[in-house]
Amino acid sequence: KNEVEQSPQNLTAQEGEFITINCSYSVGISALHWLQQHPGGGIVSLFMLSSGKKKHGRLIATINIQEKHSSLHITASHPRDSAVYICAVDRMEYGNKLVFGAGTILRVKS
Amino acid sequence: DVKVTQSSRYLVKRTGEKVFLECVQDMDHENMFWYRQDPGLGLRLIYFSYDVKMKEKGDIPEGYSVSREKKERFSLILESASTNQTSMYLCASSRDSYTIYFGEGSWLTVV
């Protein structure tokens, strides 16, 4: 079993919909990262969380340390949000080495 | 803005060739990483470095080596490229417990 599991693997939404991507992990962590990858390869860090909730524009990320679960929400989705969203955890015993989920492919249709 | 620059965006190399992938970051980060990304497998760590001249193996180091002679530069070396090393390679840098920054990726095809 992978240490970091994301769901769903693929998601198609209509423009304007509220989107949720989930991440569950099975190890102790010092932080969790949400990353965005557009076609062409480059990856951008969206959030780094160790507790609670963070918001940036239409994106909201939450984490529940006790349940080992995090969610990424996109409000009022737009076609430009189409990308791969990747959850990654910073395991306590390995410092800043990340373990990555397989990613969620999001497509937002207009 | 932090910048992580990978020297080559697209490369085509022949089996057996020696391949160098260069990565430079401009934020004085201690940590640098090389990953490869393959469909269905996600990102996998090849090597990482916490300081100049320091390197540690990641999850899939076989067939690769690295060099970090200066803090800002981390090079990935394929000593003898093979077709199963065709992949997208991503460099990243970070300071401990802070945001990680990625380069744009290098698409390597070995024929």
Cα separation, A3 vs A27, in Å, equals: 7
Give the pLDDT of residue A1: 64
- Over residues B33-62, the mean pLDDT reads 91
Give the pLDDT confidence of B85-100 residue by residue, as tens digits: 999 999 999 887 678 8
A91 or A60: which leads in pLDDT: A60
Residue A96 has pLDDT above 70, yes or no: no
Chain B contact set for A104 (CB, 8 A): none
> What DSSP letter does each residue of A22-60 carry, written as one string?
EEEE-S-EEEEEEEEE-TTS-EEEEEEESSEEEEETTEE
Cα separation, A95 vs B33, in Å, equals: 13
Choose, out of B37, B88, B95, the residue to mutate when testing the contact with A (most A CBs < 10 Å).
B37
How many beta-carbon contacts under 8 Å exist across A and B?
A: 54
Chain A contact set for B105 (CB, 8 A): 40-43
Chain B contact set for A31 (CB, 8 A): 97
Q: Tell me how far CA of residue B69 lies from CA of A88, B4, B22, B53, in angstroms.
A: 28, 17, 12, 6
Q: How many CB atoms lie within 10 A of CB B55?
A: 18
Q: Which two tokens stand for residue B38?
A: 């393959």
End-to-end CA distance of chain A: 36
Residue A95 has pLDDT above 60, yes or no: no
Choose, out of B102, B108, B109, the residue to mutate when testing the contact with A (most A CBs < 10 Å).
B102
Interface subset of B 34-93, CB within 8 angstroms of A: 37, 40-45, 48, 50, 58, 88, 90, 92
Give the pLDDT confidence of A14-24 residue by residue, as tens digits: 999 999 999 99
What is the percent of chain B where pLDDT is above 70?
Answer: 97
Cβ distance of A98 and B99 shorter than 8 Å: no
Which residue of B40, B100, B107 is in closest CB contact with A98? B100
Strands in chain B per DSSP E: 4-6, 10-13, 19-25, 31-38, 42-49, 56-57, 64-70, 73-78, 87-94, 100-102, 106-110
Chain A contact set for B97 (CB, 8 A): 30-31, 90, 96
